[in-house]
Amino acid sequence: MNGLRGKVAIVTGGGRGLGYAIVERLVTEGVSVAILALHAESVRDAINNLGADRKDVIGLVADVTLEEEVRDAVARTVAAFGHLDIMVNNAGTIVISPLVDMTTEAWDHVVDVNLRGVFLGCREAARQMIAQGRGGRIINGASGAGRRGGSLISAYSATKFGVIGLTQSLAVELAPHGITVNAYCPGHVTSTPMWDFIDREMASITGEEIGSARRAAESEAPLGRAGKPEEVAAAVAFLASDEAPFITGESLLIDGGLVRF
């Protein structure tokens, strides 16, 4: 895609799943990438899969809910590569629970990672991009569940609606600085570690066999199949590229036609 080669990105939650697919696509496009993950082994495995001797990838172990760690991650990325052009706030978590059984601790954890973490990533990236004076791209991980709620995912859905609201607000606020802010909304990409967790938790609550939730999801979209991580990564790369300079404040659905508004 046009205009990606030579750019620098941070991808939170970049060690596995959708985050790793995004890292892999950006690296292929010539972007230097800082892979940020909560666990050192995730960072190590991602770098090894890409090629341990690469000069265009660094690993950062950080908690997106802690502002000093997010701030330090931006500083370390700039120290390594000289600037920051693209921030992908992909890190996320989920709890599967009926409302009446959900603890405040579980609710707070999902809000902290999915909403506070995105806020901190946006803020620190925006500070750096404004100081550079060359614009930038902030791309936030939302979900089809941020456009349409569903049973047993109230905390997750609430935070993803929040990410879309944050994205729309920041698109207006940061436009004078040449920074676009968009969100991507995957739906039923069932080959990820998060979906392994969802499938097990759904089975535990509903009493159905493991695999039932995944099979139901894979047949729900009009296109009749699950999404693929690389399809989400392609959409993120497009939003990061020079092919999308007039797109901001959008939440792009990548879900096979599941949610249609």
Choosing from 7, 20, 55, 160, which is the catalytic residue?
160
Radius of gyration for the alpha carbons in the chain, expressed in angstroms and rounded: 18
Under the phi-then-psi rule, with left for phi > 0, alpha for psi from -120 to 50, and beta for the rest, what region is 53? alpha
| CA dihedral of 60, 107, 236, 31, whole degrees rounded to 10 | -10
How far does Cα 260 stand from its chain's mean position?
21
The residue to which tokens 């944050």 are assigned: 166
160 counts as catalytic: yes
Choosing from 7, 156, 184, 228, which is the catalytic residue?
156
- The secondary structure of the chain, three-state, reads CCCCCCCEEEEECCCCHHHHHHHHHHHHCCCEEEEEECCHHHHHHHHHHHCCCCCCEEEEECCCCCHHHHHHHHHHHHHHHCCCCEEEECCCCCCCCCHHHCCHHHHHHHHHHHHHHHHHHHHHHHHHHHHHCCCEEEEEECCHHHCCCCCCCHHHHHHHHHHHHHHHHHHHHHHHHCEEEEEEEECCCCCCHHHHHHHHHHHHHHCCCCCHHHHHHHHHCCCCCCCCHHHHHHHHHHHHCCCCCCCCCCEEEECCCCCCC
Catalytic residues: 156, 160
